[in-house]
Structure 1
């Protein structure tokens, strides 16, 4: 049962509107009950039964039934007046961006004013409009009602089932395009990477320049310089011509160490200069000219990339296809405590007459 939060009602200053809503609900129920009675009155069965048991009612109600449209116009005038009043208030409060938005957002009220059998049913939507407005101001809490939870759950089930099938269909079509030889890698290169090549080359040049400065730094480049020193020293010592310097007495070892240090300094300085001086124009020229003859389609890498994409899509499809609403139902049912059979036997024993 709905509970009215009186404190929120006072704070929201919606008490006059709540009174108006209750009055309009009363008028609405009277109108709908009258519509139902008049529709039943028009049937031969109900008319015959009333003529048998309540002949006086027929004499009184026949003129009303024959002019029911005029009676309904009275209710329509009441609803239309209330609609115009709310429209004026919405304009004064500036509840919408434009003054003419109100009738579009409350279209069901306008349709319900049309005096035909089908359109009169739209007057029922006024009930949901009132409940939504009260729920928005936290005067009532629809989330605590069983009927709201029931419809909300099955609405989520419907949306989940529909969206899952759409997503799986889209991913399956993408997989078919990939397996049919869709030029995905060429499209990525032409439409994604190529327009961004200036940005990519600028970023790559910045990274390379920063790497060169880091190598030349005494604080950060010691590890790289030590690695270069060991590599060059190993190469120098393993060289056949340099190893012959060991046969020179006294100065042979000194010359070899001096040569090793000199080559190490030259290689390190060359590497630092190469990395520091490399700019975006040179990288872009290298990609345009040096990589021109490289054909990635001839390599097995493109197949591996497509396989990775396909496997990722399969994982996404498997994840999307999981019906989470079923697991929600299972968890809800498992949370209900089961009755212990021993407790039932004790209850039966207690209820046995002695």
Structure 2
């Protein structure tokens, strides 16, 4: 992980619209690197106070160890004072810019919001300077100037957080669903009350939805099966006429019997088919949507909310248990494992592409070598 953001490629400055914002970014980069540099210097200075570290430095350079101890270690309070002065000046500069840009409703809100900047300016308050580092990185990430997810440590921390949150939330959700399933299976709620509490409030909307689905299905199906239905009606009428005694008597009439029976058969087929055709078209017509909706509503009322049907409880138990089982199985799927597999597949794909690219370069070099030998 890179600690210092000093390369231009680390920043997408096109996200900043004004020159002032870009100058502020430059200043923030300077402050960030100074804070990190000072933290490393403090760590070095603390190690210098140990004898074993001094002996290690003596192995490298005795003069450096002596000069550092005489001019820097013994006067480190002055060094801290220089850093403190720099941090305070930068803090008051930022406060003035906030007041000038009217960032807050009152001018004195700034030190309360950015208290860690002010406290961290003083010696001994180094932890608050780390807060400022995190605040700067978070602000840049929010402005899309940088993408913290490109840093391996941040990406790993976010992944670990997602794994922990998902495992805990999945365990809680599954436990709640299992409890609901047990209560449903015991029959404590699989009764008319379930219907009244869950289904009844949506009965009107369900009726509209089902009626429109029925209308659409009838329109599509009937338009595609109209000829088949007509042939089917003709076959049924023909069979019925052949078995009808009155039609047999008509056929016995000399000369006109067969003609009359044939015409009667055609007339009956036309009438029956027209009745069925008009029936389907009326049901599928939008003008009868309200009628169909009322029919569906009454059917639902009779099937689901009839107090005389004891099988409703068993139906609700089975349906509810099946739904909860499906939800539990879905919740049990580890999304973080799927993400890891996807990342691994992408990594393998990238490695494969790089390998192929290297092989192509190698082959090209071999061809060029052979050509040069010729």
Q: State the TM-score, normalizing by the size of structure 1.
A: 0.59
- Sort the Cα spacing of 1:181 and 1:323 in 2 relative to 1 into closer, same or farther, 3 A: same
Once the two structures are overlaid, the 10-residue window that deviates more, 171-180 or 297-306, is: 297-306
Cα deviation, residue 181, structure 1: 1.9
Q: Deviations over 1:318-352 (max 9, x none)?
A: 42366236536765589879xxxxxxxxxxxxxxx
Q: How does 1:1-354 map to 2 (within 5 A)?
A: 2=5, 3-5=7-9, 9=13, 12=16, 13=19, 14-25=21-32, 28=35, 74=85, 77-88=88-99, 90-91=101-102, 99=105, 107=113, 109-114=114-119, 120-132=126-138, 148-181=151-184, 183=189, 189-191=195-197, 193-202=199-208, 221-237=226-242, 239=243, 241=245, 244-245=248-249, 248=252, 250=254, 253-254=258-259, 256-275=261-280, 276=282, 280-281=290-291, 282-283=294-295, 286-287=298-299, 291=303, 293=306, 295=309, 297-298=311-312, 301-302=315-316, 304-320=318-334, 323-324=337-338, 327=341, 332=347
Give the C-alpha shift of residue 178 in structure 1.
2.0
Q: Distance in 1 between matches of 2:264 and 2:334?
A: 66
Structure 1 runs not aligned, ≥5 long: 93-97, 338-354
Post-superposition offset of 1:123 = 1.6
Measured at CA, do residues 103 and 259 of structure 1 come closer, stay the same or move farther in structure 2, by a change above 3 Å?
A: farther
CA–CA distance in structure 1, aligned partners of residues 351 and 297 of structure 2: 70
1:159 to partner: Cα distance:
1.0
Offset at residue 37 of structure 1 (A):
9.3
Q: Determine helix, strand or coil for the equivalent of 1:319.
A: coil
Measured at CA, do residues 306 and 252 of structure 1 come closer, stay the same or move farther in structure 2, by a change above 3 Å? farther
Partner Cα separation in structure 2 for residue 201 and residue 11 of structure 1: 51
Number of aligned residue pairs: 316
Structure 2 vs 1, CA of residues 226 and 328 (structure 1 numbering), >3 Å: closer, same or farther?
Answer: closer
* Two-structure CA RMSD over aligned residues (Å): 5.5
Are the equivalent residues in 1 in contact too, given 2:13–2:22 (CA < 8 A)? yes
* Preserved contact between residue 135 and residue 142 of structure 1 (Cα < 8 Å): yes
- CA shift, 1:163, in A, is 1.1
Q: CA deviation at 1:156?
A: 0.9
